[in-house]
Structure 1
């Protein structure tokens, strides 16, 4: 791929933004609850706007790696970013800090069990759909953003 090529996916798509605030409680699993929330509401372009809280455990895939690491906490959620629509379970990355302030992060695979709370705001753009298509340049299913047809 030409490194100077700019993918047309960067073209802005105007939309009305809806926001959904929710709180998860101790013992709930973060990723599965967010995916379920999005699917129950048929949100086609959901993404994480913000998230704060803590988890007792995390299962993450490391950068450019085929293996998954399991981390036992508790950890503070420093950052949670990504998309929740498109594909089976979206695409999320997280940064977590331990009691000494050391930070770990990676691609969320699951097992993010809430320690005390998780306060999350999800955004969704009306008239927009996130899907994923295989990209031979990366060997992954990558985000495709499109306008939805309205009648």
Structure 2
């Protein structure tokens, strides 16, 4: 039975490391990368699951003898289910797009001479999309590509 608890503790430590890496860098395992829309939520969920696994494994050996089995059971399951809920939310919630990321960055343009006194600096409008004008660009010649 000790090897099962040891494997559980090892998986808990691995989950804590992966959750920490996800929170610090935004990196997600390649198998889950395509489905995760909120990496921070995913990282916190993995951290909670890892803490649950490690806590239940450590408490199995009686490190904290004053804790009742009910507190260990319900506390570990609350951490585990909370982490699983955060993982589901990280997969289900849509991408968060802010206005700052939706518009291209560029130098700020000063207000024109006829602008009111309280005018603020604005970003220049992006150039119109060539594809929306109805004329598609021809193939690129001379570089070996066959883009149409």
Per the TM superposition, whether the score is higher than 0.5 is no
Structure richer in strand, relative to its length: 1
Structure richer in helix, relative to its length: 2
Structure 2 length normalisation: TM-score?
A: 0.23
Structure 1 length normalisation: TM-score?
A: 0.23
Higher RCO, Cα 8 Å, sep 6+: 1
